[in-house]
Structures are given as C-alpha cells and as structure tokens.
Amino acid sequence: MKRHLLLAIMILLAAAGMAQEKCYWVFFTDKNDTQFDPYTYFDAKAIARYEQCGADLYDLSNYPLNTRYVGTVGGYSTEVFGESRWLNAVGVMATAENALLIEQLPFVMRVQEIVSEGVPARVETPVTSLDAQVNASADILTDQLKRFGGQHFIDHGIDGKGLRVCVMDGGFPKVNTHPAFQHLRDNHQILKTYNFPNKKEDVYGWSTHGTMVLSCIAGINEEGQKLGLATGAEFLLARTEIDPEPFKEEVWWAQGAEWADKNGADIINSSLGYGKDRHWTKDMDGTSYVAKAAQKAASKGILICNSAGNEGDDERWMTIITPADAEDVLCVGGIDADLEEYRHISFSSFGPTADKRRKPNVVAFGQADVANPSGGFTSAFGTSFSSPLTAGFCACAWQTHRDLTAMQMKAEIEKSADLYPYFDYAYGYGVPQAAYFTNELKPATRSFNLVQEKDGVRIAIPKVIKGQDMFFNVEGADGVLLGYYKAYPDSTGIKLLNKDFGQGKKLNVSYNGFYDSCPINGTGEEISVSGNNHYISGNDGTFQKIEEEGWQKTTYFQYDYNLYTNIWNGFNRHFAFGRRWMYGKTYKFGMGLGLDFNRFVAKSNHDATSLAHDKTILRQMQVRGELFQRVVIRLWGVNWDLGAYGGINATRRVKTIDNITWQDNMGQDLDPQPYNEKVTSLYKSCKAMNLFEYGATTRLSYSIQNVFNIGVYANYRLSDIITKQDFLIGSPANQPSPWSFGIEFEIMP
C-alpha cells in the first residue's frame, strides 16, 4: 500500500509540474488603432540621433502596442511582466492550457515559450580586495585605461562629454553615495533611472554588478585616478536583471533598450548575456529575440557594447553569447591585465558566431579595478568589465567625431585596434587605441616579410622586437578562419609548410603593428609549423567545434554502505556505475544505463523454531535503466533529478553461513542434521530471486566547474527482491529494505 501511495504521489507531482505556469512571448499580428507622436515621445537628443543616422521616427516599430490586445492576453495570463514595441510582443506568465487559448486569438501571430529558467550566462565576478597599491603620484590613469592609450584623450580634454550612455544591469547599489561617482552626482550626469522588474525608478540596490560596471565607464578612485575614460558623459541606469527570475530578463533587456532609445542614449553597455544556461550554441547566430532587439537598437543609431561572455574555458561551448552575436553589436572579449604581454584571458568566450561571422570585435582587460559597493575599491574579473571599459573608450572616441553614425563609429573602433586588419576569434581586431582618434597614431613600419618558398611560406623577421608577439591565422576561401596562432619568434623566423594544407587558403600575419598576408598553395588539410627557438600557442581549428542540439553524456558512480537497514539484523551495500544521456538546457529529460551490484546481509536469532542460518547473504548484479527529468538550478549550481528505474537481475546468489549448533527454546543442544537438511532445502527454494526489479529514484547534486557533480541519491524499490516464499528468516514480508541512500559522482566528459 505504501509503495502504491508513493507512486501516486510521484505521478501527482509530475502532473503538477506539467500544469505549472511558464513564461511566454506573445507576438501580435499588427498595431491597428494605435497612434504615435515621436516629438512628444522621444527626448530631443533621440530625435537628433534619428535624424543623423537617417532612421525613421515614424517607423511602425516605435508605435505602442494595441492596448486591447494586451488587455485580452492579460485576461488569460497570471502576469504581463513586459512589453516590447519593437517586437510587437508582450512577455506573460501563463499555464500551458491558457497559452494554447492565447494562441487562438485572432490578433496573435504566435506564442513562444521562453524555455529556460537558468541563470543567464553573464559574467562571473570573482572579487579580491585591492590594497593601497595605487601609485601616489599624479598618474591619472589606471593600467586598464593605459592599455587603450588613454593618455591621448586626457591630453586633449576628451572625457565623453556630450555623449549619453545607458548601462543595463542587475542593480546599482551605493552609486548614489559612493565617492567613485561623486563627480557624476555633483554635475547631475545621471539623468534617469528605471527598474524594470519592480516597475519603479529606484535602481540603487540589488546586484553589486552594475556598480562595478558603471565604475569602469566613469569611476574615479580615491587617488584621483580614472577607472573609466568617460567621466564627462551623461548616464541612464536601467535595472533589467533579477535573481532568480532569469527567463523574464530577455524581455526586460528589450524593454531597457527601447527605454534607452526613447531617452536619447548614444551608447548602451550591456555586461549581460544569455548563453549556455538557456540556449544552444546553434542559437548564437543573431536570431534570438534579445539579439533582434539589439539589432533594432543599432538600426536606430545606438552603439551597443556587449560582453563576449565567460564561456571560454568550457570546451562544450565554443562561441560567444547573445546579444553579442547580433551583427551590429560591438562584441568585447577579454585579455589579461598586463601592459607587456598580450594574452587571452582564459574565461573570455571565443568566436565565431554559430553562423561563422567574425566575433569578438575587439578586446580589453578582463580584470579591472572597480568601485566596491561595500566600500572602497576592489579588483574583479570578467568580460563584464572589458565591455564597459570599451564603452567608455567609445564615448570619448565618438566625442572626437560627432558627425559619425553609430555604425560608422563601430567601424572606426575596429580600425583603431592594435591588430587591425588582422583578426582572430580570441582577440578580434585587438585593443582600440586612443591615438587613432587624436591623429597621433604613428604608421607601422614593416617588421617582417612573407617569403614564398617552394615548400611553403617563411615569415622572415629582420629584427626581433623584445616582448612583441606575432599573430597569424589561416583563412579559408569563405573567410572562415581554419586556425590561429600566437608566436614568440626569434631571428630565424617562422616557416609554414604548405605541402599538406590545401588550395585557396590565405595566411594573415601581424607583428609589432604591421600586417601582411599571402596565399598558401598546398594540397591537403593540415598545416605544419617549423623553426628554431620560437614557441607556438594557439588553436588548430578545434575552436570551430560547436555544441549541437542533442544528447549530453555523463558517467556516474554510486555507492552506499550500511546507511539503512530494515528488520533484518544486518546491513546493505550498493555500488553502481553507468552512462547517462540528457537532452535539454535547464529542464533536461534524461535516460541512463548501468550496472548495479547489491549485497544484503541478514543475521539470525539462534533458535530452532526459526530454522535460520547464522548469516544469510544475498548478492545480485543488475542491468538497470532509468528515465528521469533533471532540473538545473543555475543560481546555486544544483541539479535535482526525479525519475523511475527498472532492471534485470543478471546474476542472483544466496549464500548461507551455518551455526555450528542448534538449540531448542530451553537452550539445550539438538542434533543439527535434520535442521540443516531442512534449511538446505529452504535455501534451494529461495535461490531464485525475482528476475525483474523496478522503483523510483531521486538525486540532488552540486555542479563543480561544469566538470563533475557530487551529490546524494535515494532509491525506493517498488518490487520484491526474493520470491513470495518463506525466506530463510521469518515470513515473506521480510524483504531487504526497499530504500537505499548514498553518494554519487557524475563526470561530464
């Protein structure tokens, strides 16, 4: 009865899960019966931007939604939590049944579930305390700005004045009190704020991330050094992120971009992104709805800086995140915080996009000194900070050429980078340089020669420049990079052998600011690199690996020992290993196949009436399959599985250890022979255990670095192990315990 009750409870839980509310985009067919006056809706600065870039103020995307449509959909929903003019859509919470009803409405084009509830793959921000390491001299720039050559902007009095920057993030605690932003408060440079999750203007709380990000655009530390270059810009602060409501955030991101557009933003910094926790890599092709919103903002004259993401050290996700995948978004990757070396920082996401477009566009430090909302200043890591550092740079660069449109400025930012026109999927075009915009960038002198030889191409270096890295890549006829490398050359140069490489390829090389290219005319598919005393690092093409939508494989191990016993006076031992396959992102449907080994031990009471052995040992090896659903709680790195299993007992053995003597109830020794014969007969009748076994299983595990999970599990057996005969000890009810509890390790290859 208890077993059937448990099964019924599990079925009810599954049914309740299916009936739960979900998050949906609802797209309308039209904007009939709506009116729009851009001159009362838009800030004057927005109108000027539209006119400059040639965008249409009366474009239908600017018109409001039909309020009757929104109200009707709201009647079928538990919440309408966001609206997008640009997408002509609303974000709603509704049951699956009501979503079907909404889809039948005549003015609804389609309903699309926002499938993930995982925390967005924005950047991690490990924070370390920053000692009083700042030079007490009058040096006005931190290293993170020196890397841009920011002194050129300082010398020309360029600080982003006249530019309006919108920062979209998860909150801005202490921005209204922290000394890093005193100049912004004194000069009233924070013009407007809005909290989209809470539908109010207060943004000065919640996630500390936004405070750190803003300081990388316009902060000043206690020594008077700039943390960001755009200390003279105006700001709009939008809170669009909230934990743990991640599946609404892409709707709020779109709303935030529209709000920025309305209020005259020139630049949007988005140190946010949505990647492996809610999308497949194939989705990183500019087609997500948040990417469409970003692309729409760009078409209206806004320059968007977006973090490339922090998935660079996850081999299962070798691309950037959205909305950085949108064509006209300036995608910013990260490099190590070093003025001498030029190294990709390990976590920064690699390009290209899923459809092989070139990303990231540029890079900046992935480690930065930032304002600490708890007080003072700290150091933090992530492409979250390379993006705002670049956004501040963009504000200053645009100040020097206010006649340029956003897309023209994006192109100039790329041209200013120190590797341009060389490009690869780790560094993009390199780090933008201020001297380009102040007309102080010195033309590069030839630092190498490409010499075509019979068996390949030799990169000849007349003079090795200490501390200068050489970058080179091999490009296919379609413009897709087949491999890219970084070298530390010596005077012998570098030889690239083309005998096995293939026709129609192109070699691109950058060294000490100079760029050149030449064809490679081999006949195969691989490239060889030769030379003396130089060191090659890079990617031989595996960066093109794209995680396809399909089954994720893991290997698991389970073990428990004496963790639970029933009325048997003994103990159980269980060990299992196998392989699981899972499909999905945050809600994963899974199945598994493995081998289970069980050992059940029972000890008898020594009396003649029990006909019991002194010890009985049951052993079984079982081929077990399982079906389950995994819920991934990304906020805490926790996985919860609930499912059922079934198995076939491949081997079944019963072993007995006899007591030497038998006694009656008075404690007198008896002749053991008849009792042993009777027990042996009973042992033989119980030797065959049940062939099939089935039950329920649940697991709770913690994910460590997306490499392995460690957790606990519980299995509840709904079938009997032994046959319905008198067992060696007591009645047929005396089965081994149906429960097993233990620990589990799951490894993701």
Q: Name the architecture of domain 551-747.
A: Beta Barrel (2.40)
Contacts of 106 (CB under 8 A, 6+ apart): 29
Question: For the ranges 291-300, 345-354, 722-731, which has the lowest average pLDDT?
Answer: 722-731
Our CA angle for 239, 240, 241, nearest 5°, is 100
- Chain centre to alpha carbon of residue 634: 9
pLDDT at 70 over 80: yes
- pLDDT tens-digit profile of 32-41? 999 999 999 9
Q: What is the mean pLDDT of residues 87-101?
A: 95
User: pLDDT value at position 375?
Assistant: 87
Among candidate residues 424, 346, 390, 426, the one with its CA nearest the CA of residue 144: 390
pLDDT of residue 638: 85
Residue 428 scores a pLDDT above 70: yes
- Where are the chain's structural domains? 21-113, 127-436, 449-544, 551-747
Q: Per-residue pLDDT tens for 673-720?
A: 555 555 554 444 444 467 889 999 999 998 876 678 899 999 898 987
702: three-class secondary structure by DSSP: strand
CB 653 within 8 A of CB 618: yes
Per-residue pLDDT, averaged over 272-277, amounts to: 78
- Banded pLDDT at 724 (limits 50, 70, 90): low
Report the pLDDT value the prediction gives residue 549, as an integer from 0 to 100: 43
Tell me the range of 12-26, 156-170, 484-498, 540-554 where mean pLDDT is highest.
156-170
Q: Does 8 have pLDDT greater than 50?
A: no
- Lowest-pLDDT choice from 271-280, 556-565, 701-710: 556-565
319: pLDDT strictly greater than 80: yes
| 122-126, 190-194, 251-255, 506-510, range with the lowest pLDDT | 122-126
Position 446, amino acid: R
Give the pLDDT score at 204.
95
Higher pLDDT, 637 or 441: 441
C-alpha distances in Å from residue 297, one per residue of 255, 262, 291, 379, 390: 11, 10, 10, 32, 18
**For 379-404, what is the mean pLDDT?**
95
- For residue 533, name the pLDDT band (cuts at 50, 70, 90): very low
- 604-625 burial by CB neighbour count: b if 16+ within 10 A, else e? beeeeeebbbebbebbbebebe
Range 343-369 average pLDDT: 92
pLDDT in tens, 128-169: 544 433 333 347 889 999 999 999 999 999 999 999 999 999
First-to-last C-alpha distance (Å) of the chain? 42
Cis peptide before 672 (omega within 30 of 0): no
| pLDDT of 199 | 94
**pLDDT tens column, 211-232:** 999 999 999 999 899 999 999 9
Output the CATH code of domain 21-113: 3.30.70
Q: What is the pLDDT of residue 194?
A: 97
Q: What is the pLDDT of residue 609?
A: 45
CA distance 397 to 438: 9
Dist. CA 17–CA 11, nearest whole Å: 10
Nearest Cα to 182, choosing from 371, 369, 367? Answer: 371
pLDDT band of residue 102 (cuts 50, 70, 90) is very high
pLDDT at residue 496, as a whole number: 74
- The whole-number average pLDDT for the span 442-465 is 85
Q: What percent of the chain stands above pLDDT 70?
A: 76
Q: For the residues 329-339, what does the mean pLDDT come to?
A: 93
What pLDDT band is residue 548 in, cutting at 50, 70 and 90?
A: very low
Q: Cα–Cα–Cα angle for 181, 182, 186, nearest 5°?
A: 125
pLDDT of residue 564: 42
Is there a contact between 220 and 183 (Cβ–Cβ < 8 Å)?
A: yes
- Can you give the pLDDT at residue 504? 73
Tell me whether the CATH fold assigned to 21-113 matches the one assigned to 551-747.
Answer: no
Mean pLDDT across the stretch 590-597?
Answer: 89
d(CA 671, CA 661) in angstroms, rounded, equals 8
Structure tokens at 205: 């709380």
Of the pLDDT bands very low, low, confident and very high (cuts 50, 70, 90), residue 266 is: very high
Mean pLDDT in residue range 239-262: 87
Average confidence (pLDDT) over 169-195: 96
Side chain identity at residue 131, one-letter code: D
What is the spatial distance between Cα 207 and Cα 241, in angstroms, rounded to a whole number?
8
Whole-number pLDDT of residue 370: 94
pLDDT: is 432 or 558 the higher one?
432
Q: Which residues of 682-708 are buried (b: 16+ CB within 10 A; e: fewer)?
A: bbeebeebeeebebbbebebebeeeeb
Average pLDDT (78-102) is: 95
Identify the pLDDT of residue 729. Answer: 42
Q: Percent of the chain at pLDDT above 90? A: 48
8 Å CB contact between 619 and 678: no
**Residue, of 127 and 85, whose pLDDT is higher:** 85
Instruction: Select the more confidently predicted residue: 338 or 73.
Output: 73
Residue, of 163 and 5, whose pLDDT is higher:
163
The better pLDDT of the pair 482, 646 is held by 646
Mean pLDDT of 611-615: 50
Q: For the chain, how big is the Rg over CA atoms in Å?
A: 33
DSSP 231-288: TT-EEEEEE---TT-GGGHHHHHHHHHHHHHHTT-SEEEE---B-TTT--GGGTTT-S
| Bridge partners (DSSP) listed for residue 638 | 633, 702
Dihedral of alpha carbons 618, 619, 620, 626, sign? positive
The mean pLDDT value for 288-296 works out to 94
For 1-5, 297-301, 392-396, 481-485, which range has the lowest pLDDT when averaged over its residues?
Answer: 1-5
> pLDDT value at position 341?
81
pLDDT class of 275 with cuts at 50, 70, 90: confident
392 neighbors 160 (Cβ within 8 angstroms): yes
**Which of 329-343, 410-424, 596-610 has the lowest average pLDDT?**
596-610
H/E/C letters for each residue in 541-599?
CHHHCCCCCCEEEEEEEEEEECCCCCCCCCEEEEEEEEEEEEEECCEEEEEEEEEEEEE
Q: What is the pTM of this model?
A: 0.73
Topology annotation, domain 127-436:
Rossmann fold (3.40.50)
Average pLDDT of every residue of the chain: 81
Asked if residue 240 lies in contact with residue 196, where contact means CB atoms within 8 angstroms, the answer is yes
The torsion angles phi and psi of 208, rounded to 5 degrees, stand at -75, -15
pLDDT (average), residues 362-378:
92
Closest CA to 294 of 194, 410, 171, 206: 410
The larger pLDDT score, comparing residue 723 to residue 557, is at 557
Helical H runs in 401-481?
406-416
